[in-house]
Amino acid sequence: MSTEMRKERIDRAIKARSEDIFALNSYREMLYLLAPRVLPILAALVLAFSVNVYWQRVLISASVFGILAISWDLLVSCGMVSLGQALFFGAGAYFSGYMNHAFGWSPFVTVPLAAILGGAFCVIILIPVLRLRGVYFSMVTLILPLMLERIIEATRILGGTEGITGLTPFPSQWIELFVPFAGVWVALFAARRLMSTDYGLVLRGINDNDRSVISAGINIYIFKAQALFIGASMSAFAGAMMTQIYMFVGMPVFALDYSILPIAAAAVGGIGSFAGAMLGAFILVPLSEVLRGIGGLRIIIYSLSLVVFIVALPEGIFPYLQRKYTQFERWVKVET
């Protein structure tokens, strides 16, 4: 008989029967439960008010990318792995820019409108792929942003290679900061809420075992289209906001950065947990700002982090932290 050491994990004793019911015995336990949920929000609010202009821009950028990451993660939960989030982002950007430029509507009108129109546009062009295996969705979303760039370049529509400049900004600097910042939190809560409803369960079911969902009499393609619309609109919203904040839209909105970072953020933070995706964005974007001196290295950093995390720590940082926080771990001797 030999003994070996094995790691044992036990849940801390505040969970009762299921995932969403807790049995609390003291204020200390309640604090333990609330802290990870409340602290980040408080910290975020404090952060938002206290930083200087330069870091405010970083915060805006991180928020925009955070929305992209969360919407990417949402699509993944429904079985659609997009390799071209830039498509949705760019669609929203161009819709907003065009409406603002051509009709002179205020950003408060064009941004929400662009989110909806951009989402609808992307769903329409992706309809042929929805009924195929997931790989095809990934491949087509990979190619589409690259191609849309070419189309705009070739046809010289929507400002061609120069893009559309001189758009109206938001009335105040604070709104510029808070709309995206609030947006990413709203996106986070909305995504979590959506996935915890029965509707979200059906979406996850489609991802897990679509044959089962079909034989339950549900038209999975309508559901996928709806989920795609929600995810695409979120990203389109981010794109529209970015456009109005920087008062410019052009071919760079389809850049690979916007496609790769959401994936990298989710891979780093934890695919499937929307908080992880957001965390990943809020790690990677400031990180690449700090290393700013190296300019074009940014996308290389994103790509490499993506690969490293997918291969080495597939679950991501967020679930890892979650596990450490909610479970005891100890080494136990086992007789074999």
Partner 1 sequence: MFLGTLIYGFINGVILALVAMGFNLTFGISGVANFSYGAIYIFAGFLTWTIFHTLALPYILACVLSIICAALLGALMYRFVLLRLRGMVVSEVIATFAIGLAILEAFRYMGFIGFKYTLPVFWDGSVDLWGVYVDYQRLAIVGIGLLLTVFLYFFIHHTRIGLAFRGIAQDEQTALSLGIHSDWIATLSVAFGAGLSAIAAVAILPLGTISVGGGYDVLVNALAVCIVGGLGSAIGVVLASFLIGYAQMITSTYLGASWVMIVSLVAILIILVIKPSGLFGKQKELEERI
Partner 2 sequence: MTQAPLLSVAGLSKRFGGVTAVDSVEFELRENELLGVIGPNGSGKTTLVNLITGFVKPDSGSIVYRGMDITGMNPYKIAQKGIVRAFQMVRPFYQLPAFKNLIVPLFSPRVKKLAGGKYGDRGAVAKDILEEVGFERDSAVINKVARVLPHGYLKRLELGKCVAMRADLIILDELFSGLSLAEVASILPIIEKLRVDGKTIIMIEHRLRELFRIADRVIVLNFGQKIADGPPVEVMESEAVKKAYLGTETEG
Judged by CB under 8 A, the residue of 212, 294, 308, 332 near partner 2 is: 212
Q: Convert 239-250 into a string of H (helix), E (strand) and C (coil).
A: HHHHHHHHCEEC
**Which of 153, 141, 149 shows the shortest CA–CA distance to 85?**
141
Q: Closest separation between CB of residue 310 and partner 1, Å?
A: 5
Binding to partner 2 by residue 213, rule CB under 8 A? yes
Residue (300 or 332) nearer to partner 1, CB:
300
Read off the amino acid at residue 150: R
**Could you say which of partner 1, partner 2, none residue 216 binds, taking C-beta under 5 to 8 angstroms by partner kind?**
partner 2
Cα–Cα distance for residue pair 70/66, rounded to 1 Å: 6
Burial 211-226 (b: 16+ CB within 10 A, else e): eebeeeeeebeebbbe
Rounded Cα distance, 229 and 235, in Å:
10
Using alpha carbons, list the distances in angstroms from residue 119 to 87, 115, 152, 260, 320: 10, 6, 19, 19, 33
Q: Under the criterion CB under 8 A, does residue 219 sit at the interface with partner 2?
A: yes
Q: Kindly report the three-state secondary structure assignment for every residue of 149-215.
A: HHHHHHHCCCCCCCCEECCCCCCCHHHHHHHHHHHHHHHHHHHHHHHHCHHHHHHHHHHHCHHHHHC
225 belongs to the binding site for partner 2 (CB under 8 A)? no
Query: What is d(CA 274, CA 117) in angstroms, rounded to the nearest whole number?
Result: 24
CA–CA gap between residue 224 and residue 134 (Å, rounded):
11
Window of 38-46, 86-94, 120-128, 208-216 that interacts with partner 2 by CB under 8 A: 208-216
Among 218, 287, 299, 321, contact with partner 2 (rule: CB under 8 A): 218
311's contact among partner 2, partner 1, none, with CB below 5 to 8 A by partner kind, is partner 1
CA distance 12 to 141: 42
Shortest separation between residue 213's beta carbon and partner 2, angstroms = 6
In the bound state with partner 2, the residue whose beta carbon lies nearer, of 148 and 227, is: 227
Rounded to a whole number of angstroms, the minimum distance from the CB of residue 282 to partner 1 is 20
Least Å from the CB of residue 178 to partner 1:
33
Total residues in contact with partner 2, by rule CB under 8 A: 20
What does 18 bind: partner 2, partner 1, none (CB cut-off 5 to 8 Å by kind)?
Answer: partner 2
Closest approach of Cβ 280 to partner 2, in Å? 22
Q: Site for partner 1 (CB under 8 A): how many residues?
A: 41
Report the nearest approach of partner 1 to the CB of residue 155 (Å). 9
CB-based contacts of 189: which residues, under 8 Å, 6+ apart?
none
Judged by CB under 8 A, the chain residues 12 through 71 that form the site for partner 2 are: 17-18
Q: Going by C-beta distance under 8 Å and a sequence separation of 6 or more, which residues neighbour residue 283?
A: 265, 268, 269, 317
* Residue 277 touches which member of partner 1, partner 2, none, C-beta under 5-8 Å by kind: none
48/202 with CB nearer partner 2: 202
202 binds, among partner 1, partner 2, none (CB under 5 to 8 A by kind): partner 2
Q: Is 291 in the site for partner 1 (CB under 8 A)?
A: no
199 is an interface residue for partner 2 by CB under 8 A: yes
Q: How far is the CB of 75 from partner 1 (least distance, A)?
A: 12
CB of 142 to partner 1, least distance (A): 7
Cα–Cα distance between 59 and 182 in angstroms, integer?
Answer: 11
Angle subtended at Cα 27 by Cα 25 and Cα 30, rounded to the nearest 5 degrees: 80
SS3 109: helix
Chain residues binding partner 2 by CB under 8 A are: 17-18, 198-199, 201-202, 204-205, 208-209, 211-220
